[in-house]
A and B are shown apart, each in its own frame.
Chain A
Amino acid sequence: MFDPAVAAVEGALAAGAEYADARVVVSRRQHLEAQNETIETLEQSESAGVGVRALIGSSWGFFATAEFEEARQAGEAAAAIARASSTVPGPPLSLADVPVREDSYETPHDEDPFAVSLAEKADLVVGVTKTMQAVDGVALARAILTAWDTEKYFVSSQGHRISQHLVECGGGIDAIAVGEAETQRRSYPQSFGQYQTGGYEVIRRFDLPGHAERVASEAVALLTAPECPEATTDLVLESSQLALQIHESVGHAIELDRILGWEAAFAGTSFLELPRLGSLAYGSALMNITADATLPGALGTFGYDDEGTPAQRVDIVKDGRWVGVLSGRDSAALANLPPGGMVRGDGYNRLPMVRMTNVGLLPGESSLDEIIAATEEGILMATNRSWSIDDKRLNFQFGCEIAWEIRNGSLGRMLKNPTYTGITPQFWGSLDMLAGGGEWIHWGVPNCGKGQPMQTARTGHSAAPARFRGVRVGVKG
């Protein structure tokens, strides 16, 4: 399968490109969704093609085709597009050096998720919705399973020749209770499901049937729970909500393309400015963030990125100080930083761009029980329900599915419609207790959107429960 990629690179070079690379990508996806004991969606998709980048001067061009026989012409088209780009040119551009490798990588997995029968998967998702529906007051009981199988064949004009086989899967359940003028939702393992690299053993570990009744009962109970009060108080976040907090207020903010202004019109920029790299206080001393594409089982783990750069672990925040970014070969060279190997594209027909790998908060030494016991007055919030953050990644507001009040070191009443809001560095600066050990989980986000045309990436975020002091909660519409 390297041949179309080789032909595409040759076509681009023959048409005047100074550098070119190409990826053949063959991807399969299987998705099941059950609702109230019925399979609502059973979808299988396959895409295959070659995408090629050409660099002329300081200008890029990219072209993709599903016709492997036309790969060379695709390379020529990419060069022609790069030439058009050069009519509105930018500053001189170079590519940071990376090792040129001929190699292969495969996601470690025990059980091919596509080899597990559809009947077994259907029985699982239908069965858990039946369990949830049996709880009085549940209007909607849903379950989803998704698996991806991706083969990539990467070739560059510098001599890269890398094949990868990535296997990812996951899923989850949720129950919705409908009141007179509201809906309430509970889900497991997290909102929109939990996803990791690996085979079907990932899904078996979730034990979805074992959580179905609890999830349903909590959704119904929320309808009659008191509202989360408006207050400024201590906030304890369970780990999947903290994972999304990391994704939005750290992961996107540290993308070097955003910092350089390349995403200004759409996704936005960043409050981070390169001259303050190494000195800016991002959070408290408990805050240690890494971008680690080598974490076994995490969703953002791979062998090489889509520029052929080996997967690596990079320090992002160390003892509360901002020390690193997410970068690719061109953005790193422009900022005079080492390339991080964080460039990926969505399928064969999307331009690879800076994406999160596994951007996670390293574990602390406490536990959720200890955090609650040490909290005189506060609120514990769990499982994301809504998320919004400004275009510089400063002002955020999150909603969660459920909360509990904390009084004198113990959990109290369940609360509904919990929200919290804050400003990124102040919020992270208020982090004063952090769990670890078995409560440190590699959460996965399967739908991180970025770029124009839009592309989605699957990213990982390790997190454990944590406490933040003096946070504004209970914002109402």
Chain B
Amino acid sequence: MTLSPGAPRTPGPAEICQQVLDLVGDRAEAQVTSQQGRPALTRFANSFIHQNVGEAGVSVNLKVALPDGRVATASTTRADSAGLAALVEGALAAAALRPVDPDWPGLAPPATVPEVDHYDPATEAATPDERARRVRAFVDAGPGLRAAGYCDTDGGTTAFANSAGQRAEGRSTRATIDGIHQTDDSAGSGHATATRLADLDATGVGAAAADRALRSQAAADIGPGEYEVVLEPECVSTILIFLGFYGFNAKQVIEGQSGIRLGESQFDRAVSIWDDATAPAALGVAFDADGTPKRRLELVQAGVSSALALDRRTARKMGTESTGHAVPESDAYGPIPSNLFLGPADPAFGAGTSDLIASTARGLLVTTFNYCRILDPKTQVVTGLTRNGTFLIEDGKVRGGVKNLRFTQSFIEALGPGNVLGISREARFADSEFGPGLVHCPALRLGSWRFTGGVRG
């Protein structure tokens, strides 16, 4: 019995890409991305596995540009000859009916894609029993508590081809254990993501979650206001996701909606932010949806906003080169950095996470944020709540849990000059509410954070 029922019949992604290009022929310029993967996710709640899913599938995304610059995209999960033919004819027919795209940047030229090692065959082939063992370990790490979360594995091959001769192919895997332990009046979370399932310490992650849940019991109700904060990596990850999507996204800048101003010291000089799909610690493949090779991109250097994420379309508009940040939805959303890192501009600035707490006279330790939404992209004012462990710090010590608070805070100002008081040396993949593996970051100590409401509103 096989768990990958599509495998024997479906050609590989590179072969699918070539088939699609052959079908298009000389009728149009074309670029094709095909992904073949075996994502599987084991979900648990009330300390038992209640949802457990897997799939074997392939996706094909095609963009065609007619000689006069009329462009259309199409996608399918049908990789048989009839499905691919329908994909091609549908895209060509759609392109013929639309106006000329004045911003069509043309296809990516042939270029070498960096070699990266972000793949583990054992993780791609992981069985439901292997995921269930991690779940059991997480649950058992919190005896007497209620556990909920997931363990997933995702792996596969991505191929790109275009009619200008660019070819790229890469394999990647990711494994995550993420969850909470709950008491009757508290919850605490833990998270780990890695290229290899074998590298996940489910017991350790579960124990961290249980510890946070137990320490935040009988939480105190404190009033809203400005507080110094120590933000765990999950919170920092959320900040970076918003900065990437609404700030360093070149489409947002072109449209006047971004608050990022290149060359200005918009951030604390202690902070550097970069995007790097080629880093050993990163996940995924080293080319984007346009087929452009990825490279390290310095977004903030010692507090100075220094670069934007670009795809071919925005690069053309700005008269520069793509940085390799196209995603399948770039035409609508713009280029998105998805291998984000934050670290101290000066390595000597780093401190232990316990030191960040020890140096705080009075403030809050926040584990995760919840349901963050932007009020205005230009100011990056975001509202959201704390979740899964919020603690009062007094005289350098964690005194106990406090009830969740709502904040309304500009994320640019949060990392602004003078507000970053500490950066932890330890960094790891942290999960925002937008998915795992996108951000690798430390904890931060910030001088001020605006909480605008408590549990009573």
Give the interface of A toward B (CB within 8 A): 15, 33, 38-49, 51, 58-67, 69-71, 73-74, 76-77, 80-91, 117-119, 122, 126, 139-140, 176, 178, 181-183, 260-266, 268, 349-351, 353, 385-391, 394-395, 397, 399, 417, 419, 421-423, 426, 451-454, 472, 475-477
Contact = CB atoms under 8 A, between A and B. Distances in A.
Contact of B383 (A58, A119, A386, A454): A386
A44 B456 contact: no
B3 A264 contact: no
Which of A263, A423, A452 has the most CB atoms of chain B within a 10 A radius of its CB? A452
Chain A contact residues: helix, strand, loop or mixed = mixed
Nearest to A86: B49
Nearest to A45: B75
A395 B385 contact: yes
B403 to A, nearest CB: 10
Interface string B43-57: 111111111111111
Given A44-B94, A139-B255, A262-B50, A65 B371 contact: no
Q: Which 10 A/B pairs are nearest by Cβ-Cβ distance?
A: A70-B5, A90-B48, A84-B128, A477-B381, A178-B256, A265-B148, A73-B5, A118-B97, A477-B408, A264-B148
Interface string B30-49: 00000000011111111111
Given A60-B51, A66-B79, A140-B255, A390 B1 contact: no
B74 A77 contact: no
A5 B435 CA distance: 31
Contact of A265 (B40, B149, B435): B149
A235 B129 CA distance: 54
A49 B5 CA distance: 12
Contacts of B41: 452-453
Contact of B256 (A43, A70, A183): A183
A42 B86 CA distance: 16
A31 B270 CA distance: 44
Interface in B39-83: 39-58, 71-79, 83
Contact of B51 (A62, A86, A117): A62
Interface in B136-191: 136, 139, 146, 148-150, 152, 178-180, 182, 187, 189
Contacts of B382: 477
Nearest to A54: B52
Contacts of A62: 51-54
Contacts of B71: 42
Interface of B: 1-3, 5-6, 9-10, 39-58, 71-79, 83, 86-87, 90-91, 94-95, 97-99, 101-103, 127-129, 131-133, 135-136, 139, 146, 148-150, 152, 178-180, 182, 187, 189, 255-257, 331-332, 370-379, 381-385, 387, 404, 406, 408-410, 435, 450, 452-453, 455-457
B52 A46 contact: no
B450 to A, nearest CB: 6
23 contacts: A38-B101, A42-B71, A46-B76, A46-B86, A48-B77, A61-B52, A61-B128, A62-B52, A66-B56, A80-B1, A81-B53, A85-B50, A87-B133, A182-B379, A265-B45, A265-B189, A388-B372, A388-B406, A390-B404, A397-B452, A397-B453, A419-B375, A476-B408
Which of A82, A353, A385, A397 has the most CB atoms of chain B within a 10 A radius of its CB? A397
A84 B2 contact: no
B78 A66 contact: yes
Contacts of A476: 408, 452
Contacts of B1: 15, 73, 76-77, 80
B48 A89 contact: yes
A442 B329 CA distance: 29
B332 to A, nearest CB: 5
A119 B91 CA distance: 14
Contacts of A477: 375, 379, 381-383, 408-410, 450, 452
A40 B330 CA distance: 10
B128 A81 contact: yes
Which of B41, B55, B132, B379 has the most CB atoms of chain A within a 10 A radius of its CB? B55
A65 B57 contact: yes
B52 A475 contact: no
Contact of A452 (B43, B135, B385, B404): B43
